[in-house]
């Protein structure tokens, strides 16, 4: 193959690789984006996994941060086919008594629904919502000197607490359960320092950009980003699984949307011994066991509000969720896992044949687990939606090991690119002046293993590209 000179080459077309490529191309550079599979997207892919006509999201499904991303929101993605659909309720959290806590678009309505905890909820979330435009760049980025330190401190003074400590501010099981479901996205014990951070971000964005569903599937986000990238002159190559930097065309900057393990495999021979040592010490977290269902009808939740929610957190009380997450963090499986469930077809009719539906769900499991969690997950759903299993037409499952086989970035099934605890929240993947620089000149890491971590927001790639622009092209 003839080598072509580019200003920059980006390896990996997940949301962060796409964001990096776009940021560099917007700066007037010539950029090549390389993807190992036959379609772009990384975690943003959709396929007919069960039956013809049923479109399932292979990895990520609901995207609280995509629409509100400080970078993605600046792009005209609607002109490239992306359409977001807002569910009636962003999220619901059912309880054994048939009731549910609801994350409504309105903060005020959500707070009032929590009764005795109205003031506590408003005090926790309202200041973050009001200051989000000013502080989001710093929350969704590396450590730096903020322009609005007081507003950012208001977030940080709550985010540094454990999820359990914040839960103790609430008096009712409804408020505590709603909070527990949000913080369980962190994939770590809810007693960990700073495990509250993800809950604050998710609740805030439920009241700002809502928790939108991309029409047609998550692949629509990747397709729109790729379409915009090529429209401004970018080049894309698929079916090219990079195993070494030596394969790449010559370029002034190389950005890799990979985690530390793959980074070492692809480029480790170029790194210093100290940087290599740090990457080898990088910690990966829990895995996931995921199921996609083709259904004969909508899930019959006992709580009617759950039938109007795009996302349903299944775990009952805060105590039960915290116990399940702690058990998995210790390398064990639980019979009552916390289940994250998405019901895209309730709001997007393109996902399933008429009068039929899809559902998407996963639970956390020990890293690399191959245990079949289908029964445990479906029993949890049946617990709050009697008759659910009678609706199943087909299912597709992926254990933690299969998740890694599908996407090499999901080490052990870890969809967050590494543990996002206090030890790796801002210093991922290594303690350096810039977490995006490697020890080799011109080589950068732009994956979810850099700040701000997991999620479909593109900010890891955007910040890495800005670092490369400052280092090399200015």
| Burial per residue of 285-302, b for 16 or more beta-carbon CB atoms within 10 angstroms, e otherwise | bbbbbbbbbbbeebbebb
In the numeric block, which tokens belong to residue 303? 């709580």
The stretches of 160-196 forming alpha helices (DSSP H) are 163-167, 173-183
Contact 1, 243 (CB under 8 A): no
In the numeric block, which tokens belong to residue 35? 């993807």
- Within 8 A by CB and 6+ apart from 238, the residues are 13, 35, 37, 38, 39, 40
Q: Is the pLDDT of residue 218 over 80?
A: yes
Question: Per residue in 70-119, pLDDT tens?
Answer: 899 999 999 999 999 999 999 999 999 999 999 999 999 999 999 999 99
pTM for the complete prediction?
0.94
**Angstrom distance (rounded) from CA 62 to CA 66:** 9
Query: Average pLDDT in the 126-131 region?
Result: 93
Question: Per residue in 372-401, pLDDT tens?
Answer: 999 999 999 999 999 999 999 999 999 999
**Angstrom distance (rounded) from CA 330 to CA 350:** 40
- Within 8 A by CB and 6+ apart from 124, the residues are 158, 166, 169, 200
Establish how many alpha carbons lie within 13 A of residue 362's alpha carbon, considering only the half-sphere containing its beta carbon: 25
Domain ranges within the chain, ordered by starting residue: 6-48+63-82+215-282+418-472, 84-213+286-406
- Specify the pLDDT at position 3: 53
**Angstrom distance (rounded) from CA 107 to CA 19:** 30
Q: Do domains 6-48+63-82+215-282+418-472 and 84-213+286-406 have the same CATH topology?
A: no
Residue 380 DSSP one-character state:
H
Q: Is the pLDDT of residue 2 over 70?
A: no
- Specify the pLDDT at position 145: 63
CATH architecture of residue range(s) 6-48+63-82+215-282+418-472: 3-Layer(bba) Sandwich (3.50)
Tell me yes or no: is domain 84-213+286-406 CATH 3.90.660.
Answer: yes
Q: Is the pLDDT of residue 150 over 80?
A: no
Residue appearing with tokens 């399933």: 352
Query: Average pLDDT in the 422-437 region?
Result: 90
Residue in 40, 34, 413, 430 with CA at minimum distance from that of residue 244: 34
Count of H-run helices and E-run strands, the chain: 14, 16
């Amino acid at each position: 193959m003839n080598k072509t000179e580019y200003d920059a080459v980006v390896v990996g077309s997940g949301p962060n690789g796409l964001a990096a490529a776009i940021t560099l191309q917007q700066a007037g550079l010539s950029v090549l984006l390389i993807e190992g599979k036959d379609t772009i997207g990384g975690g943003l892919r959709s396929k007919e996994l069960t039956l013809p006509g049923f479109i399932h999201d292979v990895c990520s499904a609901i995207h609280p941060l995509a629409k509100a991303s400080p970078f993605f929101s600046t792009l005209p993605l609607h002109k490239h086919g992306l359409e977001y659909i807002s569910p009636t309720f962003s999220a619901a959290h059912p309880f054994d008594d048939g009731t549910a806590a609801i994350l409504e678009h309105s903060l005020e309505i959500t707070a009032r629904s929590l009764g005795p905890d109205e003031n506590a909820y408003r005090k926790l979330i309202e200041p973050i919502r009001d200051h989000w435009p000013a502080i989001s760049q710093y929350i969704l980025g590396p450590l730096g000197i903020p322009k609005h330190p007081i507003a950012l401190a208001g977030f940080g003074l709550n985010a540094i607490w454990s999820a359990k400590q914040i839960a103790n501010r609430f008096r009712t099981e409804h408020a505590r359960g709603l909070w527990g479901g949000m913080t369980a996205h962190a994939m770590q014990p809810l007693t960990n320092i700073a495990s509250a951070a993800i809950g604050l971000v998710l609740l805030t964005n439920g009241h700002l950009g809502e928790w939108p569903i991309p029409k047609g599937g998550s692949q629509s986000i990747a397709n729109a980003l790729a379409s915009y990238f090529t429209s401004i002159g970018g080049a894309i190559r698929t079916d090219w699984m990079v195993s070494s930097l030596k394969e790449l065309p010559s370029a002034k900057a190389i950005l890799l949307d990979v985690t530390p393990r793959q980074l070492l495999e692809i480029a480790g021979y170029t790194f210093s011994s100290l940087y290599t040592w740090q990457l080898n010490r990088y910690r990966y977290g829990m895995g996931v066991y995921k199921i996609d269902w083709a259904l004969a009808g909508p899930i019959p939740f006992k709580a009617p509000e759950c039938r109007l929610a795009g996302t349903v957190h299944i775990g009952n009380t805060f105590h039960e969720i915290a116990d399940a997450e702690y058990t998995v963090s210790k390398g064990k499986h639980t019979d009552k896992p916390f289940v994250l469930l998405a019901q895209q077809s309730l709001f997007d009719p393109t996902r399933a044949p008429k009068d039929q539906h899809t559902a998407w769900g996963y639970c956390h499991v020990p890293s690399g687990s191959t245990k079949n969690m289908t029964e445990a997950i479906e029993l949890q759903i049946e617990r709050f939606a009697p008759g659910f299993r009678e609706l199943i037409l087909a299912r597709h499952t992926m254990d933690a090991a299969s998740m890694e086989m599908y996407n090499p970035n999901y080490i052990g099934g870890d969809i967050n690119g590494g543990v996002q605890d206090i030890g790796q929240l801002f210093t991922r993947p290594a303690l350096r002046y810039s977490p995006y620089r490697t020890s080799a000149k011109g080589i950068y890491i732009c994956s979810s293993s850099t700040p701000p971590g997991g999620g479909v927001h593109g900010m890891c790639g955007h910040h890495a590209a800005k670092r490369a622009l400052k280092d090399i092209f200015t």
